[in-house]
């Protein structure tokens, strides 16, 4: 049965949005109707406040008033279970106040609350469905309860061995365990291979198989899997990065350049991708282009930008 593990989210969300909507709004350009609606929302009269907030908030000229009204709108819409209206207010906040930490925090809590509500509905309406059991296993995995999650995945597969997605999740779990054991890698590989038999379009399975082959210096296999992953998903930046890195390690320098260029285009803030592209360009004799990429890499690392690092090529010399 689906287990709900986030009971504090609803209260946390309500408290956070209430704190924002309770901030006084300057009355300079705020329409009287909007001011009244904000006060109604702040005092819990959401059914009365929300229609006016929906109409008036986008037209407010005073940015502080608009921000306060939108926060109040999110709170009231969520309390009244008007999801689309809440999302409209969130879109307004993120458009007009992009990067505002409080706006981002309210966005996080709103989407978390919506996720919790959906999980609750799934638990009530279909607690023994595959979807509910899969979600439960993923929650167990996220909490580090590896054995319990593995048992749940295997139980699902016992009932339907051809169910798409479960072998992939089981393989991922086997690789994620803190103490996987000496056979975990081979067991995980078998799970990914089984997944591809069921769902040949699973780019994630192809990618992980490619990464496992790359780590074992099996360049041909790695290139094959990474290439397949990029064919399945043209926006899969990590797959392009893995493909370029494997080609670089295999000393196929000119061939490594196009996928690495694509990786840089998809993830321009990844310093490791710039470094590997610069290395491939250097090995291919394109030193002027390489120096530009090295310069970008140096600039990014000096500033501490880009949390994601590319895998380093193995023995490209």
Q: What phi and psi values does residue 178 have, to the nearest 5 degrees?
A: -65, -30
pTM above 0.75, yes or no: no
Give the tokens for residue 51: 């229609």
Does residue 280 contact residue 260 with C-beta atoms inside 8 Å? yes
In the predicted structure, residue 15 carries a pLDDT above the cut 70: no
Please say whether the beta carbons of 48 and 98 come within 8 A: no
What is the CA 58 to chain-centroid distance, rounded? Answer: 29
Q: How confident is the model over 82-126, as pLDDT tens digits?
A: 999 999 999 999 999 999 999 999 999 999 999 988 988 898 999
DSSP per-residue letters across 211-233: HHHHHTT-HHHHHHHHHHHHHH-
The predicted model gives 253-263 an average pLDDT of 98
* Res. 29: pLDDT tops 60: no
Taking only the tens place, the pLDDT of each residue in 187-207 is 999 999 999 999 999 999 999
CB-based contacts of 316, cutoff 8 Å, min separation 6: 248, 249, 251, 253, 279, 283
pLDDT at 31: 73
Placement of tokens 């969520």 in the chain? 78
Other Cβ atoms closer than 10 A to 108: 12
Mean pLDDT in residue range 234-241: 97
Report H helices in the chain. Answer: 8-21, 32-42, 46-56, 63-79, 83-96, 101-125, 130-142, 146-159, 166-176, 184-198, 203-215, 219-232, 237-249, 253-266, 271-283, 287-303
What pLDDT does residue 32 have? 81
* Percent of the chain residues topping a pLDDT of 70: 86
CA–centroid distance for 30 within its chain: 37
Residue 41 clears pLDDT 70, i.e. is over it:
yes
What are the b/e assignments for 5-40, b being 16+ CB within 10 Å? Answer: eeeebbeebeebbbebbeeebeeeebbeebbebbeb
Output the pLDDT for position 306.
55
Banded pLDDT at 11 (limits 50, 70, 90): very low
Domains and CATH numbers, the chain: 8-125 (no CATH), 128-200 (1.25.40.10), 202-317 (1.25.40.10)
- For residues 34 and 57, the answer to whether their CB atoms sit within 8 Å is yes
pLDDT at 312 over 90: no
Residues 6+ apart with CB under 8 A from 134: 153, 156, 165, 166, 169
- For 95, counting Cβ atoms within 10 Å of its Cβ (0-12 exposed, 13-18 middle, 19+ buried), the class is exposed
CA dist 74 and 113 (Å) reads: 12
């Amino acid at each position: 049965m689906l287990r709900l593990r986030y009971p504090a989210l609803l209260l946390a969300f309500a408290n956070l949005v209430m704190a924002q909507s309770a901030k006084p709004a300057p009355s300079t350009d705020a329409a009287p109707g909007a001011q009244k609606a904000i006060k109604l929302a702040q005092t819990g009269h959401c059914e009365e406040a929300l229609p006016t907030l929906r109409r008036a908030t986008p037209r407010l000229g005073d940015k502080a008033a608009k921000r306060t009204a939108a926060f109040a709108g999110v709170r009231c819409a969520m309390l009244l279970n008007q999801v689309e209206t809440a999302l409209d207010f969130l879109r307004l906040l993120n458009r007009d106040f992009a990067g505002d930490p409080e706006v981002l925090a309210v966005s996080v809590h709103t989407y978390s609350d919506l996720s919790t509500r959906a999980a609750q509905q799934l638990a009530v309406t279909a607690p023994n469905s595959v979807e509910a059991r899969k979600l439960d296993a993923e929650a167990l995995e996220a909490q580090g309860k590896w054995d319990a999650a593995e048992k749940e995945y295997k139980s699902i597969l016992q009932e339907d061995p051809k169910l798409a997605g479960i072998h992939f999740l089981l393989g991922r779990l086997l690789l994620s365990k803190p103490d996987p054991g000496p056979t975990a890698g081979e067991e995980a590989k078998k799970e990914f291979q089984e997944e591809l038999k069921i769902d040949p379009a699973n780019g994630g399975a192809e990618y992980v198989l490619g990464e496992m082959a790359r780590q074992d210096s099996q360049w041909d296999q790695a290139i094959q899997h990474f290439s397949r992953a990029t064919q399945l998903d043209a926006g899969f930046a990590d797959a392009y990065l893995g493909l370029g890195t494997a080609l670089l390690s295999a000393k196929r320098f000119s061939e490594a350049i196009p996928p690495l260029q694509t990786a840089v285009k998809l993830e321009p803030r990844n310093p490791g991708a710039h470094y590997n592209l610069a290395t491939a360009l250097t090995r291919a004799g394109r030193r002027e282009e390489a120096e530009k990429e090295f310069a970008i890499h140096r600039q990014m690392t000096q500033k501490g930008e880009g949390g994601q690092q590319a895998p380093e090529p193995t023995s490209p010399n």
